[in-house]
Chains A and B, each alone.
Chain A
Amino acid sequence: MATGAQQIEQLGRWRRRLLPRSLPEVAGWEWAVHASHSAWPGGDYFDVVPLSAEQWLVFLGDASGHGGAAAVLAAMARMVLHACPLTSERERAPFCPVHGWSQTPSVIMSRLNRVLASNALEEQFMTAFLGQWRPARARFDFVLAGAAPPRIWRQATGQVEAATDCAGLPLGIAPKEVYSVARIVLEPGDAMVIFTDGLVEARNAKGQMFRVHRVDAVLTEQAHDGAEAIRAGLAESVNDFLEGRPAADDVSFLVVKRWE
């Protein structure tokens, strides 16, 4: 019989195993992902699910609480996204006849919300970014559930801006919550960071938080060099800020750069 600590370690292993093995490879685009789990695993969950040949669902969620209970919540969210042909490219015949089309981000987020509301404990919730990425149109149609809007560096201005904050309530709180869609169009050269609270709320020994302005600073500095450069820069910047101490929470973010 596994000890309690082993069980939590196993859940951590389960989450690593289920991380997408590869990021989408589309000419003119570059993705990078950073997922560092705290010693006591937090509730971060990121996923990239192909919807069809030219579309992906990009999900970054942060389940409330820590450890096993947060991992179970992430497991539920994962099942909703992966088990159904309306939220993933994969056909499920002969079980399900539906194939060839997918649901919109707001409908998918509403469904996730209903499922978590009816299966999680009252005090549990999950903040999330859910975007439908269509590289052919350089477009993200996205919804937010209590998550901060992504940061976008614009090549035209050299400035960082926040994506539209259209956030609805975190998932699992109000079953009838409506999630409205906003759109991000990335122009050639633009770069974007999608993140969870663990990044901006990482605290150093003095009790200071990393905050979004440090994200913007790294983004501005590294945006010309691409997604991996931004990822490495942010990871290093957080590490320097924490002076090498481990973060109390998971630190997860996704970076995307449009080259041309």
Chain B
Amino acid sequence: MNELEQDLRTIGAMQRQMLPREVPQPSGWDLAVHYQVGAWPSGNYYDFLPLHDGRLAFLLADASEQGGPAAALVAMVRVFMHACPLASGHADAEFCPMPGNIVQAPHILLANLNQLVIENSLEGQTMSVFCGILSPADGTLHFANAGHLSPRWYHARTGGIEALRYAVGLPLGLDAAASFHHKRVEIETGDVLVFFTQGTIVDSDLSLQRLDCAIKKNAQASSVAIKDAIVQSLRAGDDDVTLLVMRRAA
């Protein structure tokens, strides 16, 4: 193995180390994740940050391109999310006076991340991020979206699927003055949310139809069944795929 391959492998190992080791399963919810990346270090990133009050903060992100610079950007965002009490919801009493039971709203977090990406990344690097805070007990999802693909939202009541198109702003890294909006929606019993990265729908419209089809067929089963059905429908491609399925159990 040459030095370069070894280096890229080490970066890949660092990335795996930084991913959540398990998928949280808040009471009354059923979550599943699929993360599939190629030989290159990936720009795909997801994270869960369970808060003390039972809420679950989560991120799904996709850095422009792949490889070393994308890996550096992902590492910076991950380190920030976990090290800052206002992002992670966990105090670091030795270092910071923030108590750890306050987390910033998703759109304020994204605006801050936008500044950090602009100040610290290579020129031209961008990152799309969906940032949500889920209250499992009442089904409220509070979220903001920095240029990320709109998640699919299956409504159990009607059997229909809509794109969660609210509160979409620019990807991070494009404009220091960008502002971000936020939105709260209520996810009802039996509803399903599917978050995904670009690699999931490389061939656009057709993929989206297949995605919806896989969701509808398996909505009553489990998030794992939905995830598996979507993964099966994927064409073998070079792109990294990250899928996050959240189902409010009936």
Q: Point out residues on A near B: beta carbons under 8 Å.
A: 1-2, 4-8, 10-11, 13-14, 17-18, 40, 65-69, 71-72, 75-76, 78-80, 82-84, 86, 92, 94-96, 98, 103, 107-108, 110-111, 114-115, 118-121, 124
Contacts and interface: CB of A to CB of B under 8 A. Distances in A.
Given A84-B83, A119-B17, 13 more contacts: A4-B67, A8-B4, A14-B72, A17-B123, A68-B68, A69-B11, A80-B83, A94-B111, A95-B86, A98-B98, A107-B95, A115-B79, A121-B13
B108 interface: yes
Given A11-B72, A82-B119, A95-B112, A68 B80 contact: no
Interface string B68-103: 110111011011101110100000101111100000
A87 to B, nearest CB: 9
B84 A83 contact: yes
Contacts of B68: 7-8, 10-11, 68, 71-72
A118 to B, nearest CB: 7
Nearest to B109: A95
B167 interface: no
A68 B75 contact: no
B83 A72 contact: no
For the residues of A in contact with B, the DSSP-based class is: helix
Contacts of B123: 17
28 contacts: A1-B66, A4-B4, A5-B4, A7-B40, A8-B68, A11-B72, A14-B69, A17-B122, A17-B123, A68-B71, A69-B7, A72-B71, A75-B73, A75-B75, A75-B76, A80-B83, A84-B84, A86-B96, A94-B111, A95-B112, A96-B84, A96-B112, A98-B98, A107-B94, A107-B95, A115-B79, A119-B18, A121-B13
Contacts of B17: 119-121
Contacts of B67: 1-2, 4, 6-7, 10
Contacts of A103: 95
Most A CB within 10 A of own CB, among B68, B73, B80: B68
B41 A68 contact: yes
Contacts of A65: 10
B46 to A, nearest CB: 16
Interface string B1-44: 00111011011011001100000000000000000000011000
Nearest to B121: A14
B104 interface: yes
B116 interface: yes
Contacts of B71: 68, 72
Contact of A119 (B8, B75, B108, B109): B75
A86 B95 contact: yes
B76 A13 contact: no
Q: Which 9 A-B pairs have the closest CB atoms?
A: A95-B112, A7-B67, A7-B68, A69-B10, A67-B7, A68-B68, A75-B72, A79-B76, A11-B68
Contact of A118 (B41, B82, B86): B82
Contacts of A92: 112, 115
A94 B180 CA distance: 13
B7 A95 contact: no
B233 interface: no
B14 A82 contact: no
Contacts of A2: 65-67
B112 to A, nearest CB: 4
A165 B66 CA distance: 42
Contacts of A79: 75-76, 79-80, 83, 116, 120
A67 B109 CA distance: 31
Most B CB within 10 A of own CB, among A6, A72, A107: A72
Contact of A76 (B8, B11, B76, B116): B76
A76 to B, nearest CB: 5
Given A68-B11, A95-B109, A11 B69 contact: yes
